[in-house]
Structure 1
Amino acid sequence: MLRAPGRPALATLLTASVLAAAYAVQAVAALAPHVPLLLAATALSLAVEGVLYRWQRGVPALFAKAHADVTVRHVLRDLLLVVGLLRLGEQHGETQYAPLLAGLLLCYALHCAIQAVSVLVRRTRTLPVVTRNIDASALRLSPAPPALLRRPGHRLLVFGLPATAGLTATAVTDDARCAAAGIALSLTLALGGLAVLSLRLLPGRRPAGEQEVLAWFDAWLAEYRPTVGLYFSGGPSSVYQAGMWLEPLARLDGRPLIVLRERHMVSRIPATDVPIVCLPKVPTLMRLEHSTLQVLIHPSNSGKTSQVLRIPTIKHAFVNHGESDKLSSCNPYAKAYDEVWVAGPAARERYALAEVGVEDKDVVEIGRPQLDAVRPYAGPPTGTYVTVLYAPTWEGWDGNPGNTSVIAAGEHLVRALLADPGVRLLYKPHPLTGSVDPRAGAADRRIREMVRAANRARSGPRPAPSKEPAARTAELDRLTAAGFREGADHVERMLVQSAPPAGRAEAVARATEAWEAAYWASLPEWEHQVVVDARPSLYSCFNVADLLISDVSSVISDFLASGKPYAVTNTGGLTEETFRARFPTVAAATVLTPDATGVPALLETVRHPEKDGLAEERATLRLRLLGPSEPSSQERFAEAVRALGAEAHRHRTRVTARSAPTPVPGQRLPAPSAALVGPAGDGAPGSALAGR
């Protein structure tokens, strides 16, 4: 079925059409010749080029696929100007413009030379290891060259502008000196840029070479002696999966490490004091085999996960980034890990029923350490309004209509909630909503407009103006800012983020808590909110909400830590009995149909807890999904790390014993490897997981 192009596609098509038309008009004006038209078409094409790189960055890629990249376009623009000059100056003969043409060709030759040197500079600054929170001053890191010199499209547009302007002026005034001056200025800029980049290739100006970096990394591993790490591979939209495990990892009694595979993710990981290493290539990743690292936890699966699983000296545990009744929560890939760590008994049963090859002995219940931030139920709403959090999940990859309620039920639910004058709605859609099914994205946009319209129709008192929210925001931005300029490359970012101030992670946690308190206090209690930014967090929304409405997802399991009422939408066409039987997380929920007819009765149970017949079931389900409160989830997580680390130590000991050479009388055997002994050198199992 054909779909009408969206607004971004129409804008792209319009911009590309205008640029193509400008070149066509310029060609006609050059051949005519018609000076005003030539001048207007040239100015229009230059203006559109500027728009491309500022607001329509996808269009240059589209032109490049058609072999009409920025170099071709710039050459064509200047060539048409030269054609116009030749047509205008036929009475003088072509020889008058020969020097100008030679100078123009030299400009393009210098552009190619700058690009070649830029590639060489980039290669010298592409290190095999990218780090954060690690002192890497020994690698001779330096700021990146100016971004203009590294971007061929921007560079040609800026450096070639004087030449193009000079040629245009000559077409208007018939004075060749204008073109000569413009071309001379372009040549000067190009020569200067070439010199700046060439200096970066001098031995004293380059960062350390590959072998030097690898030797430094091996030495750092030997000195730091990591014991437990988090392994993550993914894109910007999935960074939250790793982010939720940062604090539990940092609180372990060991020397934690974060292992990434994509360079661009190093700066995207939220504020943490834990050392971060990015190892893009497999041979570099394999160097971890000879380190003291014993345990890696995995919050998600990815294509690159299989590469790190090949390291036999490390034990691997799949911790997931959330648990739900979806099939993705018991993926067959989980059997590739040494252990699967789950929140509670329900997940253990889920793996057993799924029959995906994960043995029960390899499943360890650790709870959800992240949920310490969720405050418990403190009774019914005491204010004028009931705060309802509607947090639907996304549509998923399998096309199941029951995945998300946004398409079939979202607007009905929101309309029913907005119709109650005593409700304040918090709408928090999943970040991936609409990424697979355009209908979900369209429904999401309509829901947001419904919320905005409801706010316009509603009024009430507003909190007194306060400078605290702005001050808290400034403080949090200062603590979490990466601190590098927009044009910084990976080496410069590595330099800037080499060593965070001591205790920064704790300061960020305190500042975040203060920011959230100031944020909620600054909002009118009657005003509906659409929450799409990273702040406030989902757990912060949990704490201010009196009721959750969601889909079958990990959001439900996490919300159960609060003990508050929740509802789940049934949009898969199942009967309520089948729906509850198929999805255990729904056992203590109010089930809503797509038409949202049950919303008024649901709100009544929130306002009057004596009418809530599911409170005891929620407590029972919480225990089944998340495990006991004592010992705490963090303690159970730490114990699982210690136990798996001890197993990794025993495995190394056995392998070393089997591979040790048979002693010859009088022969002295080498000392045990540092990877097999603890920090104190006693070699006791698990000693490498002792305190820092």
Structure 2
Amino acid sequence: MPSARLAPRRIAQLSALLAMFALFTAQIVSALLPNVPVFVAASAAGLVLDTALQYRDPGLLAVLGKVRFDTLVRQLLRDMLILVGLLRIEGIDPETEHAPLVVGLCAFYALHFACQGMAVLVRRTRTLPIVTRNIDASALRLTAAPPRLLARRQAHRLLAFSLPTTAGLMATAATKDGLWGGIGLGTALALTLGGTAYLATWLLPKKRAKNEQQVMEWLDQWLAGYRPTVAMYFSGGTTSAYQANMWLSTLSKVEGQPLIVLRERFMVQKIDATDVPIICFPKVATMFSLENSSLQMMLHPANAAKTSQVLRIPTIKHAFINHGESDKLSSCNPYAKAYDEVWVAGPAARERYALAEVGVEDKDIVEVGRPQLAPIRPYSGAPTGPRDKDASEHLTTVLYAPTWEGWDGNPGNTSVVLAGENIVRGLLADDNVRLLYKPHPMTGSVDPRAGAANERIMAMIREANTRRSGSRPGPEAAAELVRRTTALDELTSTHFRDSADELERMLLQGAPRGDREAAITEATTAWEKAYWASFPEWEHQIITDARPAIFACFNQADLLISDVSSVVSDWLSSEKPYAVANTSGLTEEAFRTGFPTVSAGVILTPSAEGVPALLESVRHPEKDQFTSARAELKDHLLGPADPPSLVRFNNAVRALCAKADERRVVMEARLAGEIPSPREASEEMSDDAGSNGAGDSVTA
């Protein structure tokens, strides 16, 4: 399926490359003959094709750049062939017409390189040592960015400014009048010179941002005024932002002054809408400015290569909170022992670390629950969905949310490859089932078989929908969804100009006004209601976008089918029935023993023959054998309901902040000489021992 979809695009790319090389060939041959009509057409078409590809398929041209046949080389070759052609066309004087054109073209390229140098200089002055969001940084003299064509797109700029040059030279070739070439070159020179001069204005004091030292001095002043106490530290790749985003609601509610610390510049825009101040420290040296701030502790939702760098700040305590808990080995990584404390949801995770023997001591584990699970609604009994007049059962909504294949190639990681199609086939065979399919966003990123199976599953669901019929919501439902989407996007998205750079985004994303998070929560609730109302209640859904979130799907579903993952642990907060696919090759007994989170659920084999019985137990709770087991497992995995998880989380924050304060007092006293260093203490003890020895000798 994926290869079939990609085939037309590959064919189009190959055709474009062949056309480009064919035009170069035609330009060479027609320049040497010379054949003026073909020469003019090939030269113009080559430039037009190159320009079009810059906008429509830059990835294809990037491949040419890897073999050093980039835009500059192609345009130089194109212009050189034009000059060769003009030299061979009779009627164009080499000395009075051709030579000035050569000089003009050389001047054009000299100005192009000058403009590129100016662009590099401007970009450097607009690259600050830090990036902020939700902070008023206007004191740094932030300004709007220069046009992207001038500052960042040298290939687009070269081709755009070459258009009048090529047009003029082609007119000279057709008319044998060098004046046209001079006009084209003059226009190109004026454009390039004007662009360079315009770019230079961003180096003037009014448009130039403060230097690195001034920026760091400003940051120290801001930290002193804001006085942060708790920070969430995050570093990762482009697809890992969800690991931090799931903790935003909790972070905004912690006691004290929260802060988000990032390490990658691109991640600043990957973090979802929040009112919490964000600071990105691309360099380690700048990050150490936090050492002298009021920051007491950091929360870590993920392990990353750059985490070790922040752990070196001695004034800050660190707690690992993870981005989800499951029975997988990754949930008890040996790296966790690098933190001062490991915060887990409940007793199950404490036991998991003890069994794993990865060096995390029991005294360093703190149970805080999962504060972000509050929006999940509890179990309310058998399905009560709509029922068709001819149906014998209420509609049962089933959420199939498999995880991805992971990095280690373990077949038990995801059910998509071995069991997914059988599970979906069994669910679709029941007319009283409505399926919500929400695969992990990284499905197929490592194992192509998972991606292919995912495509087949979605095709099965789409085909099943064609066999269903019933009433559909009216156009007012779709209009309401559009209205709610627009309202939510206005709150959660910041729309930037195409030319906007970091400084401009920092300017636009300054200190938030009002309680934006409360407004987002309200808008999200309204959007989710409109989203579900926009579809027929009998229609199966494939959900691959970020919205609706997994918790919104939880609240729609009567049953979850998943894999060994944190999705199961989170689902248990509702105490609704669930099933886990066993594709590990283990027996059911060994599977339940090895993965405690599945102990209160139905186990499905790869053939998924247990789906009908599973649905029966959901529709008739008296047949459900795991009702009490789910309640017990919920407490074991997530901790007690009282006190609430957010209260326990804040208690843990206060306790770790207190430990950080105690350490600071001790260290400050030691530096002040009130408490001797270990070496000084050892020397004093040696002196005392010597004095006592001498005294005893005299006494004797």
Instruction: Give the TM-score of the pair, scaled to structure 2.
Output: 0.91
Kindly state the Cα deviation for residue 468 of structure 1 after the two structures are TM-superposed.
Answer: 1.8
Contact 2:86 2:92 in 1 (8 A): no
Task: Say whether residues 1:552 and 2:553 are aligned partners.
Answer: no
Q: Quick one: which of 667, 672, 684 aligns to 1:655?
A: 667
Secondary structure at 1:483 match in 2: coil
Identity of aligned residues (%): 61
| Code of the aligned partner of 1:415 | R
Distance 1:549 1:24 in 2: 60
Map of 2:603 onto structure 1: 591
- Asked if 1 retains the 8 angstrom alpha-carbon contact of 2:243 and 2:323, the reply is yes
Q: 1:501 aligns with which of 510, 513, 536?
A: 513
Paired letter, 1:200: W
Q: CA RMSD in A?
A: 1.8
Which residue is 1:197 aligned to?
A: 199
* CA spacing shift, 1:286–1:560, aligned 2, 3 Å: same
Deviations 1:606-629 (A, max 9, x none): 222221111111111111111111
Q: Give the 3-state SS of the residue equivalent to 1:412 in structure 2.
A: helix
What is the deviation of 1:217? 0.2
* Contact 2:92-2:178 within 8 A present in 1 as well: no
Closer, same or farther: CA 662–402 of 1 in aligned 2, 3 Å: closer
Q: How does 1:444-463 map to 2 (within 5 A)?
A: 444-463=454-473
Amino acid of the structure 2 residue aligned with 1:189: L
Alignment partners' CA distance in 2, 1:121 and 1:428 = 45
* SS of equivalent to 2:239: helix
The separation in 2 between residues aligned to 1:527 and 1:85, in whole angstroms, is 67
Q: Return the match for 1:337 from 336, 339, 352.
A: 339
SS at match of 2:160: helix
2:444 aligned partner:
434
Which residue of structure 2 aligns with residue 128 of structure 1?
A: 129
Match in the other structure for 1:682: none
The corresponding residue for 2:38 is 37
Q: Secondary structure in 1 aligned to 2:68? A: coil
Q: Quick one: distance in 2 between partners of 1:547 and 1:48?
A: 54
CA displacement 1:59-86 (0-9 Å, x = unmatched)? 2322221111111111111222222222
Q: 1:589 Cα deviation (Å)?
A: 1.5
Cα distance between partner residues in 2 of 1:104 and 1:572: 67
Where does residue 562 of structure 1 map in the other structure?
A: 574
Question: 8 Å contact 1:588–1:614 — kept in the other structure?
Answer: yes
- Report what 1:671 is aligned to: none
Aligned partners of 2:275, 2:628: CA distance in 1, in Å? 41
What corresponds to 1:633 in structure 2? 645
Residue number among 390, 393, 403 corresponding to 2:413 in the alignment: 403
1:272 is aligned to: 274
Higher mean C-alpha deviation, range 444-453 or range 230-239: 444-453
The CA distance in 2 between the partners of 1:542 and 1:434, in whole Å, is 24
Secondary structure (helix, strand or coil) at the match of 2:261 reads strand
Instruction: Please name the residue that 1:296 is paired with.
Output: 298
Higher mean C-alpha deviation, range 236-245 or range 644-653:
236-245
The CA distance in 2 between the partners of 1:170 and 1:562, in whole Å, is 78
Query: What's 2:111 paired with?
Result: 110
The one-letter code sitting in structure 2 at the alignment partner of 1:407 is V
Contact 1:148 / 1:154 at 8 angstroms: preserved in 2?
yes
Q: Is there any run of 5+ residues in structure 2 with no aligned partner, and where?
A: 388-394, 676-700
Over 3 Å counting, the alpha-carbon distance change for 1:395 and 1:25 in structure 2 is: farther
Q: In structure 2, how many angstroms separate the alpha carbons of the residues matched to 1:55 and 1:371?
A: 43
The question of whether the paired residues in 2 share the 8 Å contact of 1:267 and 1:482 is answered with: no
The 5-angstrom pairing of residues 165-314 of structure 1 reads 165-314=167-316
Which stretch shows the higher mean deviation, 202-211 or 214-223?
Answer: 202-211
Aligned positions of 1:317-356 closer than 5 A? 317-356=319-358
The answer as to 2:621 corresponding to 1:619 is no
Say if 1:455 and 1:27 are closer, same or farther in 2 by CA, change over 3 A: farther
> 2:318 is matched with which residue: 316, 319, 328?
316
Counterpart in the other structure of 1:645: 657
Structure 1 residues 159-168 or 428-437, which shifts more?
A: 159-168
| Offset from partner CA, 1:537-594 (integer Å, 9 cap, x none) | 1100111011111111111111111111111111122211111111111111111112
Counterpart secondary structure, 2:343 = strand
Letter in 2 for 1:495: L
Q: Distance in 2 between matches of 1:94 and 1:326?
A: 78
Distance 2:67 2:169 in 1: 27
Query: Secondary structure, in 3 states, of the residue corresponding to 2:560?
Result: strand
Q: Counterpart of 1:164?
A: 166
CA, structure 1 residues 590+45, in 2 after alignment: closer, same or farther (shift >3 Å)? farther
Structure 1 stretches lacking a partner, 5+ long: 664-692
1:543 has 2:555 as partner: yes
- TM-superposed CA distance for 1:662, in Å, is 5.8
C-alpha separation between the residues in 1 aligned to 2:10 and 2:301? 35
CA distance in 2, matches of 1:319, 1:510: 27
CA distance in 2, matches of 1:354, 1:565: 29
Per the TM alignment, residue 178 of structure 1 is displaced from its structure 2 partner at its CA by 2.8
Task: Find the aligned partners of 1:656 and 1:434 in 2 and give their Cα distance.
Answer: 53
Match of 1:21 in 2: 22
Q: Cα offset for 1:90?
A: 6.9
What's the CA shift for 1:13? 4.5
- Residues in 2 aligned to 1:438 and 1:542: alpha-carbon distance in whole angstroms: 28
Aligned length: 661
- Tell me, what secondary structure is at the counterpart of 1:266? helix
| From 393, 397, 417, the counterpart of 2:427 | 417
Name the CA distance, whole Å, in 2 between partners of 1:23 and 1:5.
31
The 8 Å contact of residues 559 and 578 in structure 2, kept in 1 or not, is answered as yes
Structure 2: how far apart are the matches of 1:576 and 1:411? 21
Cα pair distance change 1:140/1:530, threshold 3 Å: same
1:359/1:519 CA distance change after superposition, 3 Å: same
Q: Distance in 2 between matches of 1:538 and 1:11?
A: 38
Alignment match, 1:143: 144
Q: Name the structure 1 match of 2:488.
A: 476
Q: Structure 2 counterpart of 1:355, which letter?
A: E
C-alpha change, 1:21 and 1:365, in structure 2 (3 Å) is: farther
1:564 and 1:192, CA in 2 relative to 1: closer, same or farther beyond 3 A?
Answer: same
What per-residue deviation string (whole Å, max 9, x for no partner) do you get for residues 333-370 of structure 1? Answer: 11100000011111111111111111111111111011
CA distance in 1, matches of 2:457, 2:639: 36
Contact 1:86 1:94 in 2 (8 A): no
Please say which of residues 468-477 and 285-294 is displaced more in the overlay: 468-477
Whole-angstrom distance in 2 between the partners of 1:443 and 1:44: 43
What amino acid does structure 2 have at the position aligned with 1:253?
Answer: E
Answer with 20-29 or 422-431: which moved more: 20-29
Q: Shift of the alpha carbon at 1:43?
A: 4.1
The aligned amino acid for 1:471 is R
Match for 1:301: what amino acid?
A: N
Q: Which residue of 2 is the match for residue 610 of structure 1?
A: 622
Letter aligned with residue 617 of structure 1: A
> How has the CA–CA distance of structure 1 residues 31 and 254 changed in structure 2, closer, same or farther, with 3 Å as cutoff?
same
1:64 equivalent in structure 2: 65
Q: Tell me the equivalent position of 2:690.
A: none
Contact persistence 1:483–1:496 (CA under 8 A): no
- Deviation, 1:639, is 0.5
TM-fit CA distance, 1:301? 0.9
Alignment check: 8 A CA contact 1:12 1:58 kept: no
- Once residues 50 and 452 of structure 1 are traced to their aligned partners in structure 2, the CA distance between those partners, rounded to angstroms, is 39
Secondary structure of the 1:296 match is strand
Instruction: Output the CA distance in 2 between the equivalents of 1:55 and 1:422.
Output: 46
**TM-score normalised according to structure 1 size:** 0.92
Distance 1:613 1:649, change over 3 A: same
Question: How far apart in 2 are the matches of 1:446 and 1:25?
Answer: 46
Whether the 8 Å contact between 2:91 and 2:176 is mirrored in structure 1 is no
Aligned to 2:367: 365
Counterpart AA for 2:614: L
Name the aligned partner's letter for residue 30 of structure 1.
A
Q: Give the Cα–Cα distance (whole angstroms) in 1 for the partners of residues 112 and 174 of structure 2.
A: 27
Task: Say if 1:352 and 1:360, in contact at 8 Å, map to a contact too.
Answer: yes
